[in-house]
Structures are given as C-alpha cells and as structure tokens.
Amino acid sequence: MAWLVVAAATAALAGGMARLGVPSAALFAAVLAGLAVALTGWPRTRWRRGKRLELAKPVSKGAQAVLGVLSGALLQPATLAELAGSWAPVLAAVVATLLVSVLAGLLLGLRRDVDAATGSFAMVAGGASGLTAIAEELGADQRVVAVVQYLRVLLILLAMPVVALLLGGGAGGADSSSSGSGLTASAAPWWADVLFTAAVAAVGIWLARLAKLPAGPLLGPMMVAAAVSATGLTQGATVPAPVLQVAFALIGLQVGLSFTRSNLKTVGRVLPTALLLIVGVIVATAAVGIPLLHLAGASTLDAYLATTPGGLYAVVATSADSGGDTTLVLAVQVLRLLVMLLLAPLIGAALGRSGRRRRKRPGH
C-alpha cells in the first residue's frame, strides 16, 4: 500500500513538472517524493514498523539495466561514420572536456564534507542518470552526485536559448518538453523496442556477472546495446518511452529514499561551491572544445553544443532547430557518455584508494 501511495504521488508530480518543461521530470519527481517519505516517515504501514522504505535490489538493478540499454543504443552507424571522419579532433575534445570536469570534481572533493569520488562523479560531464544510478556502488555519495549533476543540467538548459542566439542559432532548443524527441523516438515497432530492451538487458547483466564487471547492471547492457546498435541490425530500436520513464522514476526514488536530515544539510552546504564550479566547467569546456571542433569543420554553435557538459537531448534538439550538424553534436556527446561510464569504475577505484590513504594520514 505504501508503494502505491508513493507511485501515485510520483506520477502526479512528474506530470506537473513535465507540463512546466522540467528536464527528466520523472526522475526529479521521484527524488522529491522519496525525499518526503524519507524525512517524514510517511506513509506508515503495520508491515514497516519504523523501517525505512527501500527499493529491492533487483528493482534498482533493473532500472540501471534500462539506462544502460538506452545509452548503448545511441551508438548508431551514422554516429560511427561521423566519428571515423573526424576522429582526432573529436577524441581530443572528449578527453579535454572530461579532464576539465574531473579536475573540477577533485576541487569539489577538497571540501571536508565531500570525498574525491563523490566530487568527481558529481561534476564529471556525461551520463547524469547513469552516474547517479551507479554512484553508490562506486563509493560515492549518491545524493550529492544526483543533486549536483542535475543542477548542472538545469543551468545548461536555462542558458541554452541565450547561448544559441549569441552564437547564431535559434532559441527553440531550450524547450525541454521536446528536447528528447529526436533521440527517444524509435523507428522500430513497439514490440521490437520491448524485445530489444528485454533481450539486451538480460544478456548484458548475465555477461557482466560472468565477467565480474563493476557496475555490471548498467555497463553490461550498455556494451551489448552499443555493439548491436552499431551494426544497424536493430533498425533504430531503443527503450520504449514508458519503460524509460519508470526506470528514471526508480532511480529517483532510490536517491530520494536514502536522504536523512543530516545529509540533506550536507548537500545544502555543498551547493554554493558546486554552483561556482559548474559555471567554471561550462566556460572551460567551451573554451577548450570550440577550437578543437573547429578543426572538424563544426560551427561555433555546434562546437559549443557538442562539448557542453550535459543536457544531451536538449543540445541535439537545439542543433537541429538551428540547422546545424546534428550528427556531429550527437557523436561527440555519445562518445563522451560511453567513455565516461566505461571509465567510471576505474576512476571510482583510484579515487577510493586515494581517499583511504588520506584518511589514514595523521590528523585526518
């Protein structure tokens, strides 16, 4: 009964946010609903007996798998062709923007209430929903990661109409209610989307378990989906929109339900520093990425959109509205997303070791 109440509240809140054009409305709504339950302890049932409401592990892993399938399915033949034609400047732009955002994360991690892993995953550019889903498994504070990641996405979306006008494009791409239409719409029939998602998720999780892959429920399906989608055999099949919204909501609930009053105060203290660093990352990635992608023949607007640290669906929609090279923008954004998610376990392990050494030093 408690879950029905939470689900109904999440759905109603998500519907209202979607009408207001809030990006990732299902995820945001679920975070708020979960936060309300965690802080108030309501709704209470005789089965809970004071225990916190938590998602079952198979449910959260299923949501991660769906996000993995979605991420991998973005790697289409046209994307690979674009990367092959301009691989050097594209790769340089991807590496540069990742290094800038990781450096900002390490700066955030200098705060006493934020460790290096949490700071890095909170600030790193690429795959906000995916990083939020696996942050806890990689040793980071999932709550801080979620709040800072989506604060960055929100700032990018708010600034996009102004940036598009200044750099010579239209302002239409800032409407987040339509920002995902070009990527989430499938060319395949609905049953093919369902079959593709279920089969890839199952195979990916199984292979990840065999390989003992860190963050396997997300990375396994992502790699399988990327391998299959890159061949073109899937005919553009992707995750069905209703399934994707449920997955976003489940990830949001997982984050929201884990809050306490104490760590909510911690997140509040982190936000001013995070906000300054986010602005710095947006400016720095533009300064580094625009000259590099000019070498690939990109316009200034497309170069900015390709390297901006977040808001994948919105930047592609803005490029399309302005008549830009949408394929190049998508190629750079997708490559960075895949690289970041694949490197996340290695970064988490390295920063986790660094954090343990720092805590062992005298005075820490």
Q: Is the pLDDT of residue 47 over 60?
A: no
Phi and psi angles of residue 11, each rounded to the nearest 5 degrees, phi first = -60, -45
| Per-residue model confidence as pLDDT tens digits over 90-104 | 899 999 999 999 899
Distance CA 133, CA 129 (A): 6
In the predicted model, what is the mean pLDDT of the chain? Answer: 83
Q: 53: which DSSP letter? A: P
- Main-chain phi, psi angles of 8, to 5 degrees: -65, -45
Residue 354: per-residue pLDDT? 53
Residue 182: pLDDT band (50, 70, 90) is: very low
Burial class (CB in 10 A: 0-12, 13-18, 19+), 233: exposed
- 48-57, 225-234, 254-263, 314-323 — which one is most confidently predicted on average? 225-234
Angle, vertex CA 64, rays to CA 264 and CA 60, nearest 5:
65
Cis previous bond, 43, omega within 30: yes
Q: What does the pLDDT read at residue 224? A: 95
> Measuring CA to CA, which residue among 361, 251, 312 is closest to residue 14?
251
Q: Average pLDDT, stretch 273-290? A: 93
Q: What is the mean pLDDT of residues 354-364?
A: 48
Rounded Cα distance, 200 and 208, in Å = 12
pTM: 0.80
What is the rounded CA–CA span in Å between residue 72 and residue 225?
A: 5
118 CA to centre of own chain: 15
Task: Pull the structure tokens for residue 63.
Answer: 């949501």
CA dist 145 and 340 (Å) reads 15
Residue type, 182: G
Taking 80 as the threshold, does the pLDDT of residue 42 lie above it?
A: no
- Mean pLDDT, range 214-224, rounded to an integer: 91
